[in-house]
Amino acid sequence: MEEIKKTLKKEFEDHLNQVILPFWMNLRDNQYGGFYGYVDMDLNVVRDAVKGCILNNRILWFFSNAYMTLKRPELLDYAKHAYEFLKNACLDRECGGVYWSVACDGRVEEDMKHTYNQAFAIYALSSYYDVSGDQEALDIAWSIYDVIEANCKDELGYLEAFDRNFKPVSNEKLSENGVMAEKTMNTLLHVMEGYSELYRVTKDERVGANLRWMLEILVKKVYNPALRRQEVFFDREWNSIIDLHSYGHDIETSWLADRAQEILGDPEVEAMLLPVTKELAARIYERAYCDSSLLNECERGVDSTIRIWWVQAEAVVGFMNAYQRCPEKTEYFEAVKSIWNYIQNVQTDKRPGSEWFWSMDADRTPSAGKPIVEPWKCPYHNGRMCFEMMKRLSE
């Protein structure tokens, strides 16, 4: 087993160094700052494309953690490049928080504020502060935290979509499948993720208290014990508004929530949460793992059979986490190896200078019309998979 783990660790490290890092380093925009925001299916870089602030935040997180993992000095420089763009273009210094998107030259494109986006800025800035020691980055993270706490929550949880001045607007950005949600599992998950990183680098109990609150919401409002899944879209009072099972988000939650409680170090939270995260992973293994990969979702009893890039990356980490929690369940480790093989041989675009396809159809061909980069297609999921697996395979 130790030899298998050593081999796998080398494969993830090679993939990070030879595929993911070179691709994103080549998208650095040295004229206007940040990174180019769109690469089409033919690998044409669209230099005048809109730059999504979520994409830039995730790139900042990626290069910060790449430096943390590999200790290559140039990676910290790439992180600083992303940080400067966040600070100078994405941050609204008048009304607070970060914009949704900016033009290629940094002018504001869409000035709405979404809680999901604010959370990713905190996630990225906290990691950047950890590797750079730049107090200004942490100060900005705290300012965005204050914005969320003042404007983006009610007594039941976190609200979602706002205009520039934090007046509520409809939530098209995080609603799908024909519904309009006031609260979503996805936003709750990533506020939890951003706050986990902020708590890790500060140990500030204000953040810790909010983490405990979110994990309790996850267990008591979002998790459906009868169906052994999370619900996805909700009204303001956490009533589910659609029959939808998001396989990718459930396997992602199974390890991100575990990570949050580990960072908290609270035995009561651990006792509350672990039965849920174990059940999420078990259900996804039973329901969505097939053909050496993970299905996307199930809406009203009908499976979506496409294989989305980020779902495969999260499945690798999620099943590895489940195996580490329950080493007797060797089927989880077999799933890790199988999905990783699928990623290398199917999901990864073998053309020189490319990265991963957005999604694969059931016949293992790339889905038509999907770009290689756009505002949601980023190095955060697959890069994080490499960081996590390199660490976990060393334990």
What DSSP string describes 3-68?
HHHHHHHHHHHHHIIIIIHHHHHTTB-TTTSSB---B-TT--B-TTS-EEHHHHHHHHHHHHHHHH
297 pairs with which residues across the strands?
246, 304
pLDDT computed for residue 176 by the predictor: 85
Q: Is the pLDDT of residue 395 over 90?
A: no
Domain that holds residue 369: 2-392
Residue 2 phi, psi dihedral angles, 5° rounding: -65, -35
What letter represents residue 169's amino acid? V
Tens of pLDDT, residue by residue over 126-175, are: 999 999 999 999 999 999 999 999 999 999 999 999 999 999 999 999 99
Tens of pLDDT, residue by residue over 56-74, are: 999 999 999 999 999 999 9
Number of structural domains in the chain:
1
Q: What is the pTM of this model?
A: 0.97
The token pair that represents 105 in the structure block:
């030259």
**DSSP state for residue 224 in the 8-state scheme:** E
pLDDT computed for residue 183 by the predictor: 97
CA-to-CA distance for 295 and 323, rounded, in angstroms?
20
CATH number for the domain harbouring residue 205: 1.50.10.10
